Amino acid sequence: MSYVQTVFITGANRGVGLAWATLFSKRGWEVIGTARDVSDANDLAKTGAKIIDLDVSNQESIFALAEKLKGQKIDLLINNAGVYNDGNLEQITPDEMVRQFRVNCVGPLFVTRTLLPNLALGKNSRIVNITSRMGSIGDNGSGGYYAYRASKAALNAIAISLKNDIPYPVLQLHPGMVKSKMTNYEGDKTPDEAVACMIKVLDKYEQDPQSLNGKFIHRDGFELEW
């Protein structure tokens, strides 16, 4: 009997996360997807995914994963859940900074730490963080977006530390500007189109994980500046 890979996707009930779940389901993978509100995950349910409630901004919700997934192997972890707000210098508030940091970088770190035993049960286990080019310090030529830029830059820094601290490769992947609820449906690609590009990167990652370990990669496959 052939081995069935398992993917765990945070924020899988809409947008890019749902597109990931749909694609992997069609490929015959076991899909585990999360949503803050499982009653808002009807489209995810249609993919055949196992649905788990998870609020990545809530410590207790993250730590509860350990019991919910005890003994469950994970071959691929996709930290996809994120928030975005375009507050400028005059509009940004401390509360908004903290909110985006909790979701965009603190959440992925502790989800990853919590699921290390599950990754240990998988084969060729690997991690993908959905980050953003806006987290690039060297590529910031337009300013603004203080909380989002800073939180994604912090996620990138966390990824490099994880690369050095855990035995699983970690890839930072930029999906581009995607038409989704998070971006008010502004963007140059739909979630399905963006994932169709990114899966080519992930296929390479599966075949040779170390080649992309600790890299910051655009959906089209080229390396981005930190």
Q: Which stretches in the chain have pLDDT values below 50?
A: none
The total number of structural domains in the chain stands at 1
User: What is the C-alpha to C-alpha distance for residues 117 and 114, in angstroms, rounded to an integer?
Assistant: 7
In this prediction, residue 186 carries a pLDDT of 73
**Contact present, 159 and 170 (Cβ < 8 Å):** yes
In a domain, 224, yes or no: no
- Report the pLDDT value the prediction gives residue 86, as an integer from 0 to 100: 76
Quick: pLDDT tens for 77-104: 999 999 998 778 999 999 999 999 999 9
CATH of residue 48? 3.40.50.720
Establish if 28 belongs to a structural domain: yes
- Cβ pair 133, 141 in contact under 8 A: no
CB 112 within 8 A of CB 127: yes
CA atoms within 13 A on the CB side of 152: 28
pLDDT at position 1, please? 77
Block residue for tokens 């963007």: 187
Q: Which residues pair with 34 in a beta bridge?
A: 52
User: Is residue 223 one of the residues assigned to a domain?
Assistant: no
Q: Which of 45, 52, 38 is nearest to 10 (CA)?
A: 52
115 lies in a domain?
Answer: yes
Structural domain including 170 reads 6-218
**SS3 helix, strand, coil % of the chain, rounded to 5?**
45, 15, 40
Q: Judge whether 226 lies within some domain.
A: no
In-domain check, residue 62: yes
- For residue 203 the two structure tokens come to 């296929």
Q: So what's the pLDDT on residue 57?
A: 98
Flag whether 1 is in a domain: no
155 found inside a domain? yes
